[in-house]
Structure 1
Amino acid sequence: MTRVSWRVLGGTAVATAAAVAAGAAIAALVLSPASPQALETPSAISSAPVGSQPFDDARSVTVEFALGGATTLASPGDGRVTSFTCAAGGTITSGDSALSIDGAPILTLATRIPLWRDLVEEDTGDDVRAVQQELSRLGEPITVDGVLGRETLDALERRFRDLGDRAELDGVAASRILWIPAASVAVDECDAGTGATVTAGDPLAVLAAGLTSASAELPEDLVPGQRVLVVDGERLPLGTDGAVTDTAALSALTSSSLVREAIAGEATSFTTTAELTDPIEIAVVPPSAVVAISGATGCVVVDGSARPVDIVGSQLGQTLVRFGDGENLPESVTLHPSESTTCG
């Protein structure tokens, strides 16, 4: 009987396995790419998307102001003061009631002309028009025509009703209207208190001197557009030269905390913020996309063509630019335009 040598067979099997493994390795080397796909150099990015955001161009500004003389608040009628919400440093506001005489609420109105007479229906005059103008400013839907009609009387009835007086009106008694020189006034000192007996014309309080002018020193590199001054949360209109000329705005400044703090410190200026009345939409691009920079202008390349832009700022590593008025924002810009690019 022939004896099979397992040693020989074993060696042959090992050799065969080695040959197969070597063949597989060679095939893998031949058929596999030279390097893993994940390690290949990515294709160069040539453009970047254009983002957009609202922009109010808020700037810190110094506001210089001038004060007029103090005003005495006078009683409109005779009787006993049954309520007077007066406090030094406080405010009195048009459309409200700070004073009651003989239990009747007195309506405060900031009219251009103080009401100097009792009015009846169909009366006409500048004082009637002044009452109508202030009621309209306060939100009453009336016609300002200088004629005391039912429409104006109904508006006054609504105002008195809100104060707790439901009497129907066939006219306007001057003793029921407390005149103040501005929509909101600051009080320096109180001359009368609850329980006092007063006659028409008696002093009730001394009002803080009102502002006769105010002007903000605006930077030269502002984005074009109408601006407002932000004071105590209110947005007050500014002229293109930085002046505050609106009567209501000057009144609001007079009673603002910033002005009162400045006056208390014997200063004639304060610092606040000026911003665009209506924010504009601006483009957000990478800094490398803006070339041919000169001052606050430059250009970007869109679809192979250079377009001029105004540079309005930077934020979080991005450049904020403004395209021309009426121009649509592009979807993307060239990321690295040639340094020789010009805007034409």
Structure 2
Amino acid sequence: MAETRIGLFTALTLGAVLLLLTGAIGSQYLLPPRPPATLQPANAAQSFAVETAAFDDARTVQVTFEAGNDASLTLPSGGRVTHSACAADGTLRSGQLVASIDGQPVLALHTSIPLWQNLASEAEGADVDAIRVELTRLGADLNATGKVNDAVLEALARQFYPDVDDDELPEFAEVPSARIMWLPTPEVTMRTCAVTLGASVETGAEFGKVAGNLTSARIDALPLDLAPGARTLKLSGVTVPVDRSGAVTDAAALQELSGVYSRGTEEADGAGSGSAHSNESKKPSAPGVLALVENSTVSAVPPAAVFGVSESGGCLTSQGVSIAINIVGSRLGKTYFTPVDAGTALPARVDVPKPTDRTCASQ
């Protein structure tokens, strides 16, 4: 009888152990797995580093152009047209061979004064200086003022015969106005073409019509929260100064932008794409980037560090003391600022604002 009780007790004990083991093993499959340490929620940040950054306050803006009436380009000599580079909506540039009359190449040049006569060696004056300035812009090593000399004539011959070796380059005895077509700007867009290959033309015949000169370029809506400082405007790789009202007023700057206006396309350095010219629009426009001429040095923190934000700025807090700041911009998860008190020494870190923080009063 005793042996029977001992056997029964042993069986019950083994059964209980097996039941416990089965439960432990099963729980590994039934309970959700514990995430690895790298995936567990991070502790909430208690403070943020204050960084130093260069700030250009770059803004994407839309620029509207205004231009004068279309103008005509005229041929400087008469004869049979043996070559023409004119194409509707095509571009012509100063320094380009744009036509041939009786087999003689015609060079397009933009000069401040249209040439009206041949310029002999040793000639001088405003028209000679205009030729010197443009040849220099095209790459010649010349002074802006002076006489017609060998350097001027050689630079001009190089424009007419760009593919000829130096030892075979023809020598010019004078500046031949009859082989130079005047352009009103360094780059023009042809509206229409008036000559055809093989046509016989007279001196002064219309070569084609071009878009009128650019007279104005202005930012449509100037951002109201710009950081103070002089600014530049960049469109399709061309950077020009812009005044406080958002207008480009400098004559040289408008001339630089004339190519952007004439080409009528393109992006403006990451600002998107748009048409800078349209036959249907009296005021075509294009996107550009407005930025400070000189980057300013500012501080930066994550937006979560700033509280008490208003039109005049915001607040930071560090070790129980609040700091009033001027917010100059926000980009890519950073708020850029300067302290209201220029003499304030900023801490290396600022604290996470408390729910009770509302203003910049000392804590």
Task: Please indicate the TM-score interval, normalised by the length of the shorter structure.
Answer: 0.7 to 0.9
The 1-side partners of 2:106 and 2:96 are apart by: 9
**Structure 2 residue ranges without an equivalent (≥5):** 1-36, 266-273
Deviation by residue 1:281-321 (Cα, 9 ceiling, x = unmatched): 654312243345332533546897847443312423x3233
Matched, 1:274 2:293: no
Q: How big is the shift at 1:47?
A: 4.3
Return the offset for 1:64.
3.3
Shift of 1:158: 2.7
Flag structure 1 segments of 5+ consecutive residues without an equivalent: 1-37
Q: Does structure 2 conserve the Cα–Cα contact (< 8 Å) formed by 1:160 and 1:166?
A: no
Q: Deviations over 1:143-176 (max 9, x none)?
A: 1114223332232233223165921123201012
CA–CA separation in structure 2 for the residues paired with 1:171 and 1:323: 66
Residue aligning to 1:27: none
Residue aligning to 2:279: 264
1:236: Cα distance to partner? 4.3
- Opposite residue 153 of structure 2, the aligned amino acid is L
What amino acid is the match of 1:313?
Answer: S
Structure 1 residue aligned with 2:262, among 255, 260, 266? 255
Aligned letter for 1:272? P
Shift in CA distance, 341/133, structure 1 to aligned 2, threshold 3 Å: same
Cα distance change, pair 288–79 in 1 and its aligned pair in 2 (3 A): same
Partner SS, residue 53 of structure 2: strand
Which is further off, 143-152 or 230-239? 230-239
1:133-144 matches, within 5 Å, as: 133-144=133-144
Matching of residues 1-344 of structure 1 within 5 Å = 45-50=46-51, 52=53, 55-61=56-62, 63-162=63-162, 164=164, 166-217=169-220, 218-245=222-249, 246-258=253-265, 262-276=277-291, 278=293, 280=295, 282-291=298-307, 293-295=309-311, 297-300=313-316, 306=323, 308-316=325-333, 318-321=334-337, 332-336=348-352, 340-341=359-360
Q: Distance in 1 between matches of 2:45 and 2:192?
A: 74
Cα contact 2:97–2:160 (8 A) shared by 1:
no
Q: Distance in 2 between matches of 1:130 and 1:210?
A: 19
Equivalent-residue separation in structure 2 for 1:75 and 1:122 (angstroms): 26
1:224 partner SS: coil
Alignment check: 8 A CA contact 1:189 1:206 kept? yes
**1:226-248, Cα deviation, whole Å (9 max, x unpaired):** 44444444444433322223242
Identical-pair percentage: 32
Question: Retained in 2: the 8 A contact 1:50–1:331?
Answer: no
Matches of 2:330 and 2:317, distance apart in 1: 19
Judge conservation of contact 1:57–1:223 (CA < 8 Å) in 2: no
Letter aligned with residue 341 of structure 1: C
Distance change >3 Å, CA 250–CA 57, structure 1 → 2: closer
Q: How far 1:342 moved relative to its partner? A: 5.7
Q: What is the aligned residue count?
A: 302
Distance 1:43 1:204 in 2: 73
- Alpha-carbon distance between aligned partners in 1 of 2:327 and 2:236, rounded to the nearest angstrom: 32
Normalising by the residue count of structure 2, what TM-score does the alignment of the two structures yield?
Answer: 0.70
TM-score, length-scaled by structure 1: 0.73
